[in-house]
């Protein structure tokens, strides 16, 4: 009888643990990079591969890094939100594991909201930034420190309630 009680106890504990996990928001996975300097990169520009850009070029500015790809349907869904955000803060695009010949027409067809776009064909920089999948959006402060990470398509609500107020606060 005692053994049955233990089995029932462990089963109920497991059910409670799994139920608690189902209430978590997968878009709010804590990033170990928030509060730390943005990882270094120097990548070619998508539109001009002979030129390069580094995150150090943005020191002194509050900016947003948006990881996207032409093969990513959610990137197209969030594109109007990124376009609106780019009117208030510099947004740098990180084209992730994409073919340049696909990315350029995608921007031409859907509009190019980015101050500039860098090209990460190997995905190495995405790994350094802890990218789970595209799209992802980062807010980076004047000192080059990551202050916020949004996983998945940036929604108008997330932009208005989290990203824009944070950018305004960091810009003061």
Specify the pLDDT at position 16. Answer: 58
Q: What is the pLDDT of residue 9?
A: 66
Residue 6 has pLDDT above 80, yes or no: no
DSSP 31-68: PTTTTSBPPP-EEEBSS-TTSEEEGGGGTTS-EEEEEE
In a domain, 15, yes or no: no
3-state DSSP call for residue 142?
Answer: coil
Q: What is the SS3 string spanning 87-102?
A: CCCCEEEEEECCCHHH
Domain contains 25: no
Between CA 169 and CA 152, with CA 80 as vertex, the angle to 5 degrees is: 70
45-72 pLDDT tens trace:
999 999 999 999 999 999 999 999 999 9
- d(CA 94, CA 117) in angstroms, rounded, equals 6
Token readout for 139 is 């807010």
Tell me the pLDDT band of 32, cut-offs 50, 70 and 90: confident
Determine, yes or no, domain membership for 123: yes
84: CATH? 3.40.30.10
Rounded percentage of the chain residues whose pLDDT exceeds 90? 81
- Residue 70: CB atoms within 10 Å: 20
Q: Total domain count for the chain?
A: 1
Is the model's pLDDT at 26 over the cut of 70?
no
pLDDT above 80: residue 14 = no
The pTM for the full model equals: 0.84
Cα four-point dihedral sign 167, 170, 171, 172: positive
Bigger pLDDT: 9 vs 160: 160
Residue 12 is assigned to a structural domain of this protein: no
pLDDT digits (tens, 9 = 90+) for 85-121: 999 999 999 999 999 999 999 999 999 999 999 999 9
CA 153 from chain centre, in angstroms, equals: 8
Mean per-residue pLDDT, 130-150: 96
Q: Is residue 122, in this structure, part of any structural domain at all?
A: yes
Q: Show the domain range for 157.
A: 32-171
Q: Which pLDDT value is given to residue 25? A: 52
């Amino acid at each position: 009888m005692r053994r049955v009680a233990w089995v029932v106890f462990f089963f109920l504990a497991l059910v409670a643990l799994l139920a608690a996990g189902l209430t978590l928001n997968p878009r709010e996975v804590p990033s170990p990079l928030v509060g730390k300097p943005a990882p270094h990169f120097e990548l070619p520009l998508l539109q001009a591969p002979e030129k390069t850009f580094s995150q150090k070029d943005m020191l002194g500015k509050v900016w947003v890094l948006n990881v996207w790809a032409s093969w990513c349907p959610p990137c197209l869904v969030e594109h109007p939100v990124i376009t609106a955000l780019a009117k208030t803060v510099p947004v740098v695009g990180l084209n992730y594991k994409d073919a340049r010949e696909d990315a350029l027409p995608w921007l031409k067809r859907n509009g190019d909201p980015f101050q500039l776009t860098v090209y990460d064909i190997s995905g190495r920089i995405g790994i350094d930034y802890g990218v789970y999948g595209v799209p992802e959006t980062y807010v980076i402060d004047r000192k080059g420190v990551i202050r916020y990470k949004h996983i998945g398509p940036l929604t108008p609500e997330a932009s208005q309630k989290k990203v824009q107020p944070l950018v305004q606060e960091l810009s003061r």
